[in-house]
């Protein structure tokens, strides 16, 4: 850009970047402008922006999106369900945990590195705590809130293969990680689940008019065994555990009117 001599190794006064990576010559600036998040244009001399002294300006082609957020909550009189045993008798109770504190952060990264390839990654951090949580069976202040994993990760990779007039073939895999959680507010070790990973995959065909889609999928491909919830029924001599679906496969077809 900004040259009258288009030799492939020449550098112009206007610097071009792909996701803040300098394209050092005309040859390096030959790339497809597909699925861009945005284009940043900076006029005039840019000093040593990104390590290049661009006298005529800079153009940055952005295909990466990065989002982040942080949060903090301070609850008062939070209602909490608990199953407790007092003098050999079981009770289902709803109590007010005087205070509860929740804080954390979430990050998301989206990238379109080449044509038809999409990558999405996410991560979360969470801290929870009941404050002044006292019920007839004891003082549970300091316990973690139910179903609140400290760390979570997720990701998705999707690649579209155009079949010209025959539609589009899409290959996709996704994964997620969940840290250990408690299923009850008393933080009973018998009512908890350790951390685990899940991996899924999917292949689909979409018709040219986008009305028909046929897909084959596999879920929980590593056959991870884990609980999705559990109840304390020890008063009756047992706990109730809900186990997630094991590894499974299937096909499906959809039509949009």
pLDDT at 177: 97
Whether pLDDT at 123 is above 80: yes
Structure tokens at 21: 């990576």
**pTM score of the predicted model:** 0.71
> 3-state DSSP call for residue 158?
strand
| CB hemisphere CA count around 24 (13 angstroms) | 2
* Tens digit of each residue's pLDDT (9 = 90 or more) over 19-76: 655 555 444 455 555 556 667 776 666 555 554 556 667 776 777 788 999 999 998 8
Q: What is the mean pLDDT of residues 6-23?
A: 57
When pLDDT is cut at 50, 70 and 90, the band that residue 180 belongs to is very high
Structure tokens at 72: 């903090």
Q: Which of 1, 24, 23 lies closest to 12, judged by CA?
A: 1
How many Å apart are CA 243 and CA 225, to the nearest integer?
Answer: 7
Output 121 or 46, whichever has higher pLDDT.
121
Mean pLDDT score across all residues of the chain: 81
């Amino acid at each position: 850009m900004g040259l009258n001599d288009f030799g492939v190794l020449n550098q112009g006064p206007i610097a071009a970047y792909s996701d803040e990576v300098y394209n050092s010559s005309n040859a390096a600036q030959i790339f497809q402008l597909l699925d861009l998040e945005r284009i940043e244009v900076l006029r005039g001399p840019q000093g040593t922006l990104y390590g290049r002294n661009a006298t005529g300006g800079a153009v940055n082609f952005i295909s990466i999106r990065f989002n982040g957020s942080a949060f903090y909550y301070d609850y008062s009189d939070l209602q909490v369900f608990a199953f407790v045993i007092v003098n050999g008798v079981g009770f289902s109770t709803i109590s007010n945990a005087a205070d509860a504190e929740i804080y954390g952060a979430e990050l998301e990264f989206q990238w379109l590195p080449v044509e038809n390839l999409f990558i999405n990654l996410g991560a979360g951090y969470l801290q929870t705590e009941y404050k002044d949580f006292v019920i007839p069976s004891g003082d549970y202040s300091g316990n973690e809130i139910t179903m609140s994993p400290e760390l979570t990760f997720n990701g998705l990779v999707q690649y579209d293969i155009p079949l010209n007039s025959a539609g589009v073939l899409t290959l996709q895999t996704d994964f997620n990680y969940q840290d250990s959680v408690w299923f009850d507010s008393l933080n009973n070790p018998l009512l908890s689940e350790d951390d685990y990973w899940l991996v899924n995959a999917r292949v689909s065909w979409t018709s040219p008019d986008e009305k028909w889609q046929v897909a084959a999928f596999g879920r929980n491909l590593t056959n991870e065994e884990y609980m999705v919830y559990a109840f304390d029924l020890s008063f009756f001599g047992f706990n109730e555990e809900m186990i997630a679906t094991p590894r499974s496969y299937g096909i499906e077809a959809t039509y949009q009117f």
